[in-house]
């Protein structure tokens, strides 16, 4: 099973930066201050799942989501 971190709703993402503050080794931001996964989903390894979950929980707009694929 593969997991990916995605921005579920681009309009909700307002660039607070709390997600990449929670997972700086996993996430980065673009030139406008938005999380880098706003442009493309990020595949998550088992080692990164805790950081990804922390990033999702930190988003005040609930714009991030982890999706699992078979």
What range does the domain containing 19 cover? 2-69
Work out how many domains the chain is built from and give that number.
Answer: 1
CA distances to 3, 14, 67 from 37, in Å: 13, 13, 13
What's the pLDDT score for residue 8? 85
pTM of the model: 0.87
For every one of its 70 residues, what pLDDT tens digit does the chain have, with 9 covering 90 and above? 689 999 888 788 888 889 989 999 888 888 888 887 877 888 999 999 999 999 999 999 999 999 998 7
β-pair partners for 5: 42, 66
pLDDT score of 1:
67
pLDDT at 52: 94
Residue 24 is part of a domain; what is its CATH number? 3.30.70.20
């Amino acid at each position: 099973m593969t997991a990916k971190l995605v921005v579920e709703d681009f309009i909700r993402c307002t660039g607070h930066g709390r997600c990449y503050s929670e997972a700086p080794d996993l996430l980065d931001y673009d030139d406008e201050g938005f999380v880098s996964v706003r442009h493309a989903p990020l595949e998550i390894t088992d080692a990164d799942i805790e950081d990804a979950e922390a990033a999702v929980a930190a988003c005040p707009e609930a714009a991030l989501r982890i999706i699992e694929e078979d």
